[in-house]
Structure 1
Amino acid sequence: MRIGLYPGTFDPITMGHLDIIRRALVLVDRLVIGVAINRDKGPLFDLEERVAMVEAECAKLSEASGVEIVVHPFENLLIDCARDVGAGIIIRGLRAVADFEYEYQMVGMNRQLDNTIETVFLMAEAEHQAIASKLVKEISRLGGDVSKFVTPEIRAALDAKFDRT
């Protein structure tokens, strides 16, 4: 069974994330979405909220594709998380050259830690390349329209966080 791990903070999950997940489903038999706890980033949504949002959004994709999607919170090294869930593939999304430089370094370190786990890069579709959770949160906080960047459910969650229900 080909198990892939797609890690991220998902604060919140965006159309860009969903695009990568949708495309990753053709590469694996099971996709684990690793929701990083990452206290250093100071997420807007707490872990339980992020996990619930990812589960809700991925349920639709799993049903449509027939591929099992599991949401797995983690706080340890990415390579250890991959081992924990039995993943042989780490899936990473790339938006721009700056992403590649960082990811290239991470792959090198991860290969030193465990050279049996491969990393696969998926380029974001053109319409999703500018989407970043950080920017989506900022636009929403300032009252802008984020409907092009997130699903209606995630937009509602952002509105609730910023007291615009």
Structure 2
Amino acid sequence: MTTKAIYPGTFDPITNGHLDLIQRASKLVDQLIVAVAFNPSKQPMFSLEERVAMIEQACTQVQNVLVVGFTGLLVDLAKKHQAQVLIRGVRTNMDFEYELQLANMNRALSPELETIFLTPSENNSFISSSIIKDVARHHGSISNFVPPVVAAAVTAKLSTDQ
């Protein structure tokens, strides 16, 4: 049996912390689907299509990764792709509490779907997409925290917004 996992998120933008989890999770499963969420309650810096394209570019070295955009329930996406596992990243206690609630809801909706929590490596534990955007908006360098394609895209986006 082929093991498929989904690593969902908004990824606005994808960071080195996300990439660390993608690379590590890809070694645990036969196929890892990076599911980029369209969330109408959030106002992302990048469109769904832009986020998918950046992740595809950042993940070219990881052979068993498929990047998809999605709307709706994650459990429905898992059924569509016949995934058995969800990968979730947790950095803090607050992350864990929120992710535990999501895992329990997903289990109630789809009992056969398992959730695995991964922690980031120490050098990525403080990185978040929100912090990256704040640093960039204040003209700080983000090049150590995101892939080069993302740093360029964030810089270009901010220069057109001004």
TM-score normalized by the length of structure 1: 0.93
SS of the equivalent of 2:14 reads coil
2:90 matches 1:50: no
Q: Which residue of 2 aligns with 1:140?
A: 136
2:95 is the alignment partner of 1:99:
yes
Query: What are the Cα deviations for residues 37-89 of structure 1, in whole angstroms up to 9, with x where unaligned?
Result: 11211000011110100111111222xxxxx2111111111111111111100
Kept in 1, the 8 Å contact 2:49–2:69? The answer is no
1:4 aligns with 2:5: yes
Aligned residue for 1:117? 113
Aligned partner of residue 71 in structure 1, secondary structure: strand
C-alpha separation between the residues in 1 aligned to 2:23 and 2:147? Answer: 14
Letter in 1 for 2:116: V
RMSD: 1.0
Instruction: Please say if residues 12 and 46 of structure 2, whose CA atoms lie closer than 8 Å, have aligned partners that are also in contact.
Output: yes
Q: Distance in 1 between matches of 2:149 and 2:59?
A: 13
Which whole-Å CA distance do the structure 2 matches of 1:24 and 1:6 have between them?
Answer: 8
In structure 2, the partner of 1:73 is 69
Alignment gaps of 5+ in structure 1: 63-67
Stretch moving more, 12-21 or 73-82: 73-82
Segments of structure 2 that go 5 or more residues without pairing to the other structure are none
1:161 matched residue in structure 2 = 157
> Offset at 1:28?
0.6
- Partner Cα separation in structure 1 for residue 59 and residue 144 of structure 2: 18
Matching residue within 126, 133, 145 for 1:130: 126
Structure 1 equivalent of residue 61 of structure 2:
60
Aligned length: 159
How far apart, CA to CA, are the structure 2 residues paired with 1:57 and 1:153? 7
Q: 1:31 is matched with which residue?
A: 32
The equivalent residue for 1:65 is: none
Tell me the distance in 2 between the aligned counterparts of 1:69 and 1:122. 17
